[in-house]
Structure 1
Amino acid sequence: MNSRSLGLLRDGGRGNDAAILQAALEAFGAKGFHGASMRDIARGAGTSLSNLYNYFPSKSDVLAELLRMANDELLARITEAVNAAGEEPPDRLSAAVRAHVAFVVDHQIASLVALTEVRYLAGVARTNVVAARDSTQSIYEKIVAAGAASGQFRTPYPDDAARNIVSMCSAISTWYRPGGRLSKRELGEQHARYALALLEAELPG
């Protein structure tokens, strides 16, 4: 697992909250939601089980907070990249994909947990996480819709294509290994090209 994903918590957490969330992220990444226990999390955070429950009443609450933090950072990165990319849909789409890929590489454990463990949330926690994911998805959908309207994206399936681009970027968390053949930048460029090809757009030279 990529320890750089734990930087997510140093950016967004504080004090005991951060220690608990970092320990939870490690536990969920190593054992999955069901395999990890609150006792594992408390041990990793260097605190007692009773103190852990003062911060998070249940394991689901810990997972929901981790997923909220991950999506908040992902959304912020993609939004910033798209806003800096100008007005052309291909440029905006490529910028979104590069930012998305960079997030997954930087925060691989958090990305993997978000991809595989959200199914264990229910009720309001799940509703909130899904709504946050929809906010990120909608950025792609708007860009793809604009490109389809202008004729720059020729796919007859713009909605499906947008969903598949998001899935493609998220899936990197399941196989990426630091020190592999491609750098983070090269991986982002490669996936931006994949996304444009999927949309039947003109590819850069």
Structure 2
Amino acid sequence: MSTTVTVPDVGRTIRAQREQRGISLRELASRIEVSPATLSGIETGNTTLSVERMCRIADELQLLPHRLLDEVLEGPAGRAGAGQEEHPPYERDDLPGRAQGRWREFPELPLDPALSGALIAFCDKGFHGASIREIADHAGLSVSGLYHYQPGKDAMLPALLDLTMADLTWRLDVARAEVGPGAERLHRTVECLALFHARRPRLAFLGASEMRSLSAGDRARITAERKRVQRILQDDIRSVLGQIPSTGRLMVTLGNAISTMCTSLSQWIHHDGSIAPELIASDYADAAVAMVSAHVVPHQRKAAR
């Protein structure tokens, strides 16, 4: 019994892999020496794809050629189907880099194809605007294939936001444990927050824009984690401010200002190499410490008189 490989299936996979790497259609077309219209035709299944050209595309995407055929050839048989155990909740200790405590490194996260496609679609169209078909297209899957990974669209958003918080909080805990309280710890906390939002911009953007789309239970759980992060930041600000008269108010207002500064990174940062995310994070941490310390100096001067 022969297996028929359909161009639309391969084309969807090529498109999903290209978008996950942040490569534009025009750029990939230039690399494989075809017109953007030809590559668009390949991705939509309207243009014939030769084995030689498929291998060229796979090479530019840094994939083995068979990866572009996996979904087509394996089909439902090799996937976790309905009725099987669902993907367990993300555990912080299982995330890449956690065991080694490498909080400044950002290896690829364990996203299944459905969640990878959902992340792109939700960021581009919003949760309510993204259709299952669009998610499947970004994932390089058929709609039926999508359901072998996730039970539905409503399950994908909380899964992505749970992963976001798990990946952020282990980094914060490790980063802060390396230094003592005071300005140095505040610097480390803000550096970690800023670096995360610069290095995981899609997940960070989703967390900032789609909390309203969660169910009540999921929203309460993820909100509790977000409040924990905010309390960490406020505690570090308090340790720098000390016992000046306005500590309580400044802890809240400066904490909100600094966290907003960090979360907004995902809305404007572009990894074009002009400014390294590590430098941005260090600059943000310097600015945060200076912002908080500026409120301490006048009180120190008064005490010295």
1:45 pairs with 2:143: no
Matched positions, count: 195
Indicate which of 127, 145, 170 corresponds to 1:33: 127
Q: Any gaps of 5 or more consecutive residues in structure 2?
A: 1-18, 23-95, 97-105, 298-305
Aligned to 2:205: 112
Aligned to 2:185: 92
The separation in 1 between residues aligned to 2:160 and 2:107, in whole angstroms, is: 9
Aligned to 1:101: 194
The separation in 2 between residues aligned to 1:156 and 1:136, in whole angstroms, is: 18
TM-score where L is the length of structure 2: 0.57
The separation in 2 between residues aligned to 1:133 and 1:108, in whole angstroms, is: 17
One-letter code aligned to 2:259 = V
Aligned to 1:175: 268
SS in structure 2 of the partner of residue 56 of structure 1: coil
Cα-to-partner distance string for 1:105-163 (whole Å, 9 max, x where unaligned) = 21111111111111211310111111121122121122122222366x97951122112
* 1:54 Cα deviation from its structure 2 partner: 5.2
Task: Decide which structure has the larger Cα Rg and report it.
Answer: 2
The separation in 2 between residues aligned to 1:158 and 1:2, in whole angstroms, is: 39
SS in structure 2 of the partner of residue 199 of structure 1: helix
1:163 pairs with 2:163: no
Aligned to 2:231: 138
Aligned to 1:75: 169
The separation in 2 between residues aligned to 1:29 and 1:156, in whole angstroms, is: 35
Distance 1:156 1:200, change over 3 A: farther
SS in structure 1 of the partner of residue 293 of structure 2: coil
The separation in 1 between residues aligned to 2:212 and 2:267, in whole angstroms, is: 16
The question of whether the paired residues in 2 share the 8 Å contact of 1:154 and 1:200 is answered with no
Q: Which has the higher helix share?
A: 1
The separation in 2 between residues aligned to 1:124 and 1:101, in whole angstroms, is: 28
1:56 pairs with 2:154: no
Aligned to 1:66: 160
Farther-moved stretch of structure 1 (39-48 vs 159-168): 39-48
Task: Report sequence identity in percent.
Answer: 27
The question of whether the paired residues in 2 share the 8 Å contact of 1:33 and 1:117 is answered with yes
